[in-house]
Amino acid sequence: MSGPLSHIRVLDLSRILAGPWAGQILADLGADVIKVERPGAGDDTRSWGPPYLKDSAGLDTKEAGYYLSVNRGKRSVTVGIDKPEGQAIVRELVKDFDIVLENYKVGTLARYGLAYEDLKKINPKLIFCSVTGFGQTGPRAEQAAYDFMIQGLGGLMSITGERDGRPGAGPQKVGVPIVDLMTGMYAAIAVLAAVARRDVTGEGECIDIGMLDVQVATLSNQAMNFLVSGKEPQRMGTSHPNIQPQNVYACRDGDMVLAVGNDSQFVKFCAALGLDDLAQDERFRKNSARVRNLGLLQPLIAERLKQNDRQHWVAALDAAGVPAGPINKISEVFADPQVKHRGMLVQIEHPLSGTVPSVASPMRFMQAPLEHKIAPPLLGEHSDQILHAIGLDDARIAQLRQAGVV
């Protein structure tokens, strides 16, 4: 393996999305990630379809697109951790691993003798990261959670969607499971910080990541808007609460995104539209004034943009150095010349389909380049290989398989 984490081993006991997303980030960075799955069933997301990957004959496999999106670069072993023999396998594996990722309900792994306090006795340098809906403490700690629920509970949906009184008004969820993804990102950052500290102190770590905590943290500028003003942030559709003009505008043949970021860009924007007088108008000259007077500014911009095609305006604003662009469909994203140039779509060899498409990691390293060579594994694809490595022979593996342990 290449990549800056090629010396790191990760035991991924997680499933669904947040934990596996963290595991995939680490795998992309070169870590050897072993995905531990339930015998016969595997990760819940394996069945979250359609769509499913097509095999070489064009027929559906059992590999759902959802599962494929978060498990690239891993090896899969099936282990029933609810059985004593399965727990013994995990304890044996942990001896040679740096990181454990898990997202079981609070207390579950403790009942199995696989909590951090149990595993650190086997491997004192182990970094153990627990991902749950609400963290390990507090009144909700034992409750289950999903991304959609946390988007609502954590305030994100209150600021996402069209404003009241407009067509289509109402709270909306983000189009991807953003809380799961950000939770996975925070988990990956946390374990790497613990690795860096371990290199200095020699000590392992136990990390507690809660999805609700992550959502509250990523309210970001909207949280601070509330904290400094005492005013409840409102849904604003596609309009930015602090910087203007930033919105979706209708052109003669379709919509475009406009993202003017500062006063100097506003001057260039006005020149590109032939509305130079707006840049000198005291109601609009400074961003703070544009935010306060958006109701006056918006219709002036909208009327001008309707007078020509989207391609014309995007080209004119690009030439002026003002961020603007179309609203692409997913198919258009992968056809974009910049996306193609950056190699964001990769094909990885797959035992059922020949190859499987995958979205590349956005991280680029000069000295330790990343490689995408391992497809999301079939259920238990590497079980024998991994179990042999901890000393189990074929006869013992067959016994365990017969008993439903692996």
Q: If we measure between CA atoms, which residue out of 187, 158, 186 comes closest to residue 172?
A: 158
From CA 350, how far away is CA 258, in angstroms rounded?
Answer: 41
The helix or strand, by DSSP H or E, that contains position 31, with its residue range, turns out to be: none
Please tell me which residue in 12, 147, 180, 213 is annotated as part of the active site: 180
- What does the DSSP 8-state code read for residue 238? T
From CA 151, how far away is CA 166, in angstroms rounded?
Answer: 22
Q: If we measure between CA atoms, which residue out of 396, 99, 341, 31 comes closest to residue 405?
A: 396
For tokens 């086997």, the residue is: 122
- What are the Cα distances from residue 354, in Å, to 327, 347, 383? 33, 10, 21
Token pair recorded at residue 362? 């956005």
From CA 84, how far away is CA 89, in angstroms rounded?
Answer: 9
Query: Phi, psi (5° rounding) for residue 196?
Result: -60, -40
Q: Are 244 and 270 in contact (CB under 8 A)?
A: no
Residue 86 three-state SS: helix
From CA 377, how far away is CA 67, in angstroms rounded?
Answer: 10
* DSSP helix, strand, coil percent of the chain (3-state; round to 5): 40, 15, 45
- What does the DSSP 8-state code read for residue 42? -
Can 277 be counted among the known catalytic residues?
no
Token pair recorded at residue 2? 């290449």
Which residues have a catalytic role annotated? 180
